[in-house]
Structure 1
Amino acid sequence: MANCARIEDNGKKRVVIIGGGFGGLELAKSLKDADVQVVLIDKQNFHTFQPLLYQVATAGLEGDSIIHPFRQIFDEQPNFYFRWAEVQAIETATQMIETSIGLLRYDLLVIATGATTNYFGDKQMEKAAIAMKNVDDAVELRNTVLSNFEKALQIDNEEQLNSLMDYVIVGGGPTGVELAGALSELRKHVFPKDYKELDFIKMDIHLIQSGPQLLKGMSEEASRKAKEYLEEFGVKLWLDRRVKSYDGYTVTLDTGETLITRTLIWAAGVTGALIAGIRPESVLKGNRLQVDVYNRVVGYDNIFAIGDVAAMVTDENPQGHPMMAQPAIQQGKLLGKNIANSLAGKPLEPFRYHDQGAMATIGRNHAVADLKMFDKEYKFQGFLAWVIWMFIHLISIIGFRNKFVVLFNWVWSYFSFNKGIRFILGKTHENIPVEAVTKKAVI
């Protein structure tokens, strides 16, 4: 395969970053003044603000309001190059990466590929469920939800009607909790106006969590409050249960209980997005690359990993750092600084994670926030936590236009009790045609 990237060697060390998520983005920014050539490769030509994907999926925001083109982000960084491609393999012996557009040489390689949905080997689940990892997934879920109600208007079979109107969310982390809360708001304020012929008392929202509490990793107080809020919103919680199987219609739990739905949203786990070519000895549980305190992949001198795909195993973090945005951002910033220090002959700084806490919103005026500032912990719930959540997410979005659009949509939605992005554009997820369902299931 030829070298098709057409990036001129200018005599400077070439730092190739695979993945433009939070970690890759911060790393590229931090190398702005370094005497290196920065090459970012991603299979999308834009950065996605993933924490707001659920709002795209529930008609609160349009997809283009949470994405920003890489070339626009870095248009004033002269040492930056971007190539739209998918990396297929790493050839460590020759210091080349194989991509969908050709081969590319590197001096230093940084793997920032993030994570992908983990179905734990269940191929049927992978085919039948809807994940939430990118804008396409979110838009597909929105299309599916809206098309379900359009179909529901055309049938009078009670069981099939329930299968279209009921939703099952697997995973009680922030994504699952936020989706459940957003769907409950749509059920209360929006859908009854759009679909007057349907009885939304029959719309059930189920949230299944394998453990005894929601929002694992947050405080017990946050978990308890999230549970209280969701129950207040009418979400049916199934704690200490696992999904045994799903065939596109019937959800079977490990307790033998069953639910019916045509739409199961899988938010139950992620696994590292690996690239072929890294020695197996460097890969830990969960497909994460073992790295040292400088984010260098164990077994290599010039290959690094940051973010979700990296596992920095320490006494304080025996499983590696949490697969969240903050560790990725902090690792990206420090690695950029260390690369510049290394080129200047200066000592490297080991990574120390500064936990800033976690947040989750559960609908209008309801959120939980565990924040850490100035070596103190602060816990907020309810309206104040909801305002904090909105403020932090708003200032974190890239681009003035995106900030303005998101703020406008939030303000409009808050005062009008309306979600304006209710379009069916593109594909929907359909498991079994409505007319094909004849079997019975426990509801």
Structure 2
Amino acid sequence: MNSNIPKTSQKRVVIIGAGFGGLALARKLSAYPEIQTVLLDKNNFHQFQPLFYQVAMAGLEPSSISFPLRKAFQNKLHVHIRVTEVLRIDTDKREVVTSTMGGISYDYLVIAAGAGTNFFGMQNIIDRALPMKSVGEALALRNRMLENFERALIADDIEDRQGLMNVVVVGGGPTGVELSGTLAEMKVHILPKDYPELDFRQMQIYLVEAGAELLGPMSVESQVKSKQYLQNLGVHVLLNSRVTDYDGQHVHLLDGTILRTDNLVWAAGVKANTFEGIPVEKLGRGGRLKANEFCQVEGYDNIFAIGDVAILSGDDKFPGGHPQLAQPAIQQGKILAENLLRLIRGEEMKGFRYKDLGSMATVGRNLAVVDLPFLKFQGFLAWMTWMFVHLMSIVGVKNRLLIFINWIWSYITYDQSLRLIIRAKEPKLKPVIHESVEVNPS
């Protein structure tokens, strides 16, 4: 099979990944008639990662935080979308080798593949923990949690019942904090109504963080306040605690502590997605590609990297690389689009400087922390700010409206109606038996 992408006199830019950076880049490139854009992704939709935890906790439907790529580029004739998996990059042939179409040639290649979950090489964690780096994984987490509550109803052993109800969240970043806070509120307001036979005083929620504070990159005020909020909600916050093993029922910590749970949610770290064909020496901390201030990968003038997958030099305020957040990826995607046009036209490129717009995290109802460059605040106002910023960042007016209605309904009723266990059903294919047919020559 081939890609069926027409060969033209335009310069072809191939983008791997339709995350925040890849989508921002492709959107801007679509306005330039000199450029043919090829966008490759494993999914046919863009995912809004900051709200994965709300899908996992049955607060939002997956479709609310996903946007079809083809809808985003309707009537953009110079943009070609292909749903496929990239296997390797052939830098000599200037070709991206895919799982379904073979090789796709490029004039310029942009790697914006984002990052996956970092399990730090612990095989038992890889096999048994629940990550949350995609819509699919968020749905799997939702199913597992709801299935375990159903199993808890019929469990004879008290310890088994408590293990099915307990949740251990590993990682004290925004995802871990937001997930723990949501679980704590569900424990009080929602789950007792769904499962009145269960005693939710037995349910324990643990947030385990290897560092000395939650929300490491944020201000001390936000770190202290987020911990206080979680503890007031009943979450056991374990700082300076490192997970060493998990057997499916018991989480082992470095200090010898053992936590009983059938639900281990892993939000402890990320690792950049890499591809065969890029030499290992081009990789920096966390597997991120080392690139210059123009996003050019070290040693290449036609390969670029943006977002979570890149460590850019040249920005004095971020010598160790920019935060692996949406805003750096979006800003890099936008300036790279302009630089690619400058490069094609033989003009001088402009170096990237990150404009820090701040960071924020929500802990629960009316509880959030916000760090802006000029102001830091917490509580109800921070919570309203968090909701507004995330709502405006969602792709698609319909999605924004659906999320807004869900949030309003949940706020008024202390409830949501999406606690559905949805399992994929694959057809059972029977082998085709070819019966021999005797042909009469006459």
Give TM-score scaled by structure 1 length.
0.94
Q: 1:386 aligns with which of 383, 393, 398?
A: 383
Q: Deviations over 1:181-231 (max 9, x none)?
A: 010111011000010000000010000000111000000000000001000
Matched, 1:26 2:27: no
Q: Deviations over 1:332-372 (max 9, x none)?
A: 00000111112222211100001111110001100001012
Pairing 1:268-347 to 2, within 5 Å after superposition: 268-314=268-314, 315-347=316-348
Q: 2:392 aligns with which of 395, 398, 404?
A: 395
> Which residue of structure 2 aligns with residue 44 of structure 1?
43
> Which residue of structure 1 aligns with residue 421 of structure 2?
424
**1:107 CA drift (Å):** 0.4
Q: Take 2:35 and 2:155, find their aligned partners in 1: how far apart are those partners?
A: 63
Contact 1:143 1:427 in 2 (8 A): no
Q: Take 2:319 and 2:417, find their aligned partners in 1: how far apart are those partners?
A: 45
> Which residue of structure 1 aligns with residue 82 of structure 2?
83
Q: Partner of 1:380: helix, strand, or coil? A: strand
> Which residue of structure 2 aligns with residue 437 of structure 1?
none
Q: Take 2:236 and 2:417, find their aligned partners in 1: how far apart are those partners?
A: 26
Q: 1:8 aligns with which of 6, 9, 24?
A: 6
Q: Deviations over 1:268-317 (max 9, x none)?
A: 00011001101222111211100000000001110000000000134432
Pairing 1:32-181 to 2, within 5 Å after superposition: 32-34=30-32, 35-101=34-100, 102-181=102-181
Q: Deviations over 1:121-172 (max 9, x none)?
A: 1111101100010011111111111111111110131110110010000000
Q: Take 2:236 and 2:117, find their aligned partners in 1: how far apart are those partners?
A: 24
**1:77 CA drift (Å):** 1.9
Structure 2 residue ranges without an equivalent (≥5)? 426-442
Aligned AA for 1:317?
F
**1:78 CA drift (Å):** 2.1
Q: Take 1:307 and 1:222, find their aligned partners in 2: how far apart are those partners?
A: 25
Pairing 1:135-284 to 2, within 5 Å after superposition: 135-284=135-284
> Which residue of structure 2 aligns with residue 357 of structure 1?
358
Q: Deviations over 1:228-277 (max 9, x none)?
A: 10001000011111001111111110000110101100000001100110
Q: Take 1:155 and 1:278, find their aligned partners in 2: how far apart are those partners?
A: 51
Question: Whose Rg is larger?
Answer: 2
| Structure 1 moving runs of 4+ over 4 Å | none
> Which residue of structure 2 aligns with residue 411 of structure 1?
408
Structure 1 residue ranges without an equivalent (≥5)? 429-443
Q: Take 2:213 and 2:76, find their aligned partners in 1: how far apart are those partners?
A: 46
Pairing 1:365-380 to 2, within 5 Å after superposition: 365-372=366-373, 377-380=374-377
* Deviates most, 27-36 or 327-336: 27-36
Q: Take 2:351 and 2:422, find their aligned partners in 1: how far apart are those partners?
A: 47
Aligned AA for 2:181?
G
Contact 1:142 1:424 in 2 (8 A): yes
**1:32 CA drift (Å):** 2.1
**1:76 CA drift (Å):** 2.9
Q: Partner of 1:55: helix, strand, or coil? A: helix
Q: Take 1:287 and 1:76, find their aligned partners in 2: how far apart are those partners?
A: 37
The CA RMSD measured in Å over matched residues stands at 1.1
Q: Take 1:334 and 1:87, find their aligned partners in 2: how far apart are those partners?
A: 25
**1:24 CA drift (Å):** 0.2
> Which residue of structure 2 aligns with residue 433 of structure 1?
none
Q: Take 1:32 and 1:39, find their aligned partners in 2: how far apart are those partners?
A: 10
Aligned AA for 1:398?
V
Q: Partner of 1:262: helix, strand, or coil? A: coil
Aligned AA for 1:319?
G
Q: Partner of 1:201: helix, strand, or coil? A: coil
Give TM-score scaled by structure 2 length.
0.94
Structure number with higher relative contact order (C-alpha < 8 Å, ≥ 6 residues apart)? 1
**1:427 CA drift (Å):** 6.3
Q: Partner of 2:188: helix, strand, or coil? A: helix
Q: Partner of 2:364: helix, strand, or coil? A: coil
Aligned AA for 1:320?
G
% identity of equivalent residues:
50
Q: Take 1:365 and 1:6, find their aligned partners in 2: how far apart are those partners?
A: 51
Q: Partner of 1:333: helix, strand, or coil? A: helix
Q: Take 1:69 and 1:155, find their aligned partners in 2: how far apart are those partners?
A: 42
